[in-house]
Amino acid sequence: MFAAPLLRCHVTYAGSTQTIEARPVADPYPVASVEIGGRFRFKAVMVGDAAHVDYIKLYTYLDARRQPLLIQEAKYLPPFKATAAPVVLTGEQHLYAGPAERELIYSCTLEGVQP
């Protein structure tokens, strides 16, 4: 039995890990980014519905003085492996940004994708 798709990302900065979850949405624009340690912002967007994922986009921003500065945008397109169990989507990603080259690490899994 498959539940609705769930994207789960573990985001680590300065030794602290946050779990960010995303469910399918029809409109990606209202999805808010999440503040990470006062230095970064992370936004996970899964567009689609319970039966089909159209695409997944992950955005990482450096939280700069004027406004957040995009440092990575990753896009994932179907086909996605149909499984109720979590499947690794991104692998472990290491990003470096800012004057001191601060490191942000994240990895995401996807589960509940219908066959």
Q: What is the pLDDT of residue 47?
A: 99
Q: What is the pLDDT of residue 102?
A: 95
Q: Counting Cβ atoms within 10 Å, is residue 53 exposed (0-12), middle (13-18) or buried (19+)?
A: buried
d(CA 44, CA 21): 8
Q: What is the pLDDT of residue 41?
A: 98
* Mean pLDDT for all residues in the chain: 95
Q: What is the pLDDT of residue 2?
A: 67
44 touches 20 (CB < 8 A):
yes
Average pLDDT of the residues in 18-30: 98
DSSP assigned state of 28: S
Q: Tens digit of pLDDT for each residue in 75-84? A: 999 999 988 8
Check pLDDT > 60 for residue 1. no
DSSP assigned state of 100: T
The domains of the chain are located at 6-109
